[in-house]
Structure 1
């Protein structure tokens, strides 16, 4: 295989962008297990006290992720993240105002492989969410598994990430009943990552109603969000439904709670293979809010009606903006 090496004269700012994205990919893929290994390794060294003290801190601080987390605005606002934004680049598109007197449940679609658009737009401050939607604080959901890793749990909480179980997701909506909170959910979750192939628009939503019910229980308005380009930044080994590879991936996902897409893209010093995403634009479009009246015990019919309304609004959002982002006019969302 011929390797396409990067030229030596690549500008410094692009090298810095690559380094920042490399750090982000490493954090996503390897930092959690590395933190676990480090935690136990320190017990057998002269630095054992670090792990002991952290254990005490972990015991005291155990409930924090489930109680809204602990965002560090200074870290979210670092210029470092501007380089990640410009690498792709990532752009946030506003279609309507969000009243800070209301709370919101924002459904992010599609999940993609590593949710690059969601992190860049809703976890760090580089694409201008706070300026476009003043008075709204976002909390993005992440698998509870990652909050069981020592050190790593504190790292991801800095970006406003909280566990995706119902209790944790509901807490910000309960705490700030006067409004100003948006819970961001990558609705398709880990299973949808297995469908994240370039040129595909499969959305795992047809049977996903938990976030709809949560919005009704708390009277939080629903906001559909579609991220054009999310599936384009990585290639993935073909895994159609019914193949042995897809069967294996789904079984492992059921056991571990995380999916294992066999993805690849480019490297640091060459463009032929590696785990760095391609430099392809991601445009995340925030749709119009769907008004939701508080209903602590919705009936099945009420839940189904609002779920269908949400799917219709997401489809309309996609249709309204697809031409602006290079999607063929005959291409439509496929709800799975």
Structure 2
């Protein structure tokens, strides 16, 4: 599968792999590094941090660092359920996010005005493998806040990820999202949700977008309860950046994936993307455009 932006120029074959050329501009190198850092965070940061805590606590003289962190974590454990963790606007404005968005590239397209004095629930589809398009919404990589004028964006999830160190600091649970809407009924807050979740992940493949809507009405009920307006957001190209092995519903692998999804809120998939120095395989997404279309408001009546 070809990469976007003419990656084949100057690439060579080595041991069956399409290797990246050596004369790639520094901007593209920075884009790849930014995407690698974010994908590594999603895939490995939670488990790596847990192993680090165990190592420091039981095998070094720095056990007190693990104890201090766990003490703080326990004392602040309710943060995702009571309005969120420790988000900082300057973090979302770092240049790393601009490099991230330009890698694909990502573009935010607005089809209607969103008054800044209302609350919104932005429902993003499709999930794809990692819902990468939401990164352009919750950061300034694609200039989202200059296009959509809201005072604050809150990414919300309903699975184990909110308890990871990086998730704990920046994500809301669905309970916490309701708390934000309850406390700030008319202040331009926007909750970002991906209703299809890991069930859409299991069906994600290039050229196809399977939307899972059955039994996914929780965000609609939240909007009705708190008077927030619904805003459909669609990421065209989200499912094109990764390929994966899709297993039949009756297979043991699919049953195992669904079992993990039931207990953990996410399902492991075997993905095929590209690598840092070659284009044939790896965990990095392919360079394919993701156009994030923010559609017209759907007002709801309480």
Using the TM superposition, give the Cα deviation of residue 140 of structure 1 relative to its aligned residue in structure 2, in angstroms.
Answer: 1.1
CA contact (8 A) 1:122 1:140 kept: no
- Tell me the equivalent position of 1:104: 120
- Tell me the equivalent position of 2:75: 60
- Tell me the equivalent position of 1:38: 52
Using the TM superposition, give the Cα deviation of residue 279 of structure 1 relative to its aligned residue in structure 2, in angstroms.
Answer: 0.2
Using the TM superposition, give the Cα deviation of residue 200 of structure 1 relative to its aligned residue in structure 2, in angstroms.
Answer: 0.8
- What is the distance in 1 between the residues matched to 2:290 and 2:270? 21
CA contact (8 A) 1:3 1:272 kept: yes
SS of match in other structure, 1:224: strand
Q: How many residues align?
A: 286
- Tell me the equivalent position of 2:162: 147
Using the TM superposition, give the Cα deviation of residue 252 of structure 1 relative to its aligned residue in structure 2, in angstroms.
Answer: 2.4
- The within-5 A match list for 1:75-154 is 75-119=91-135, 121-149=136-164, 151-154=165-168
- What is the distance in 2 between the residues matched to 1:88 and 1:233? 9
SS of match in other structure, 1:203: coil
- Tell me the equivalent position of 2:172: 162
- What is the distance in 2 between the residues matched to 1:17 and 1:95? 28
Moved more, 29-38 or 57-66: 57-66
SS of match in other structure, 2:19: coil
Moved more, 248-257 or 90-99: 248-257
Using the TM superposition, give the Cα deviation of residue 169 of structure 1 relative to its aligned residue in structure 2, in angstroms.
Answer: 2.1
CA contact (8 A) 1:6 1:269 kept: yes
- Tell me the equivalent position of 1:242: 250
- Tell me the equivalent position of 1:319: none
- What is the distance in 2 between the residues matched to 1:186 and 1:10? 35
Q: Tell me: CA distance 1:82–1:176, structure 2 relative to 1, closer, same or farther (3 Å).
A: same
- Tell me the equivalent position of 1:332: none
Match of 1:283 among 281, 291, 294: 291
- What is the distance in 1 between the residues matched to 2:288 and 2:130? 14
- Tell me the equivalent position of 1:191: 199
SS of match in other structure, 1:227: strand
Structure 1 unpaired stretches of 5+: 295-336
Using the TM superposition, give the Cα deviation of residue 123 of structure 1 relative to its aligned residue in structure 2, in angstroms.
Answer: 1.8
SS of match in other structure, 1:4: strand
4+ residue stretches of structure 1 with deviation over 4 A?
A: none
TM-score (normalised: structure 1): 0.81
- Tell me the equivalent position of 2:29: 15
Using the TM superposition, give the Cα deviation of residue 241 of structure 1 relative to its aligned residue in structure 2, in angstroms.
Answer: 3.0
Q: Tell me: CA distance 1:254–1:123, structure 2 relative to 1, closer, same or farther (3 Å).
A: same
Asked whether 1:223 is paired with 2:237, we answer no
CA contact (8 A) 1:98 1:289 kept: yes
Q: Tell me: CA distance 1:135–1:152, structure 2 relative to 1, closer, same or farther (3 Å).
A: closer
- What is the distance in 1 between the residues matched to 2:239 and 2:161? 23
- What is the distance in 2 between the residues matched to 1:26 and 1:37? 15
- Tell me the equivalent position of 2:209: 201
- What is the distance in 2 between the residues matched to 1:231 and 1:153? 23
CA contact (8 A) 1:95 1:288 kept: yes
Q: Tell me: CA distance 1:254–1:112, structure 2 relative to 1, closer, same or farther (3 Å).
A: same
- What is the distance in 2 between the residues matched to 1:39 and 1:72? 25
CA contact (8 A) 1:77 1:124 kept: yes
Provide the aligned C-alpha RMSD in A. Answer: 1.6
- Tell me the equivalent position of 1:72: 88
Asked whether 1:29 is paired with 2:43, we answer yes
Structure 2 unpaired stretches of 5+: 1-14
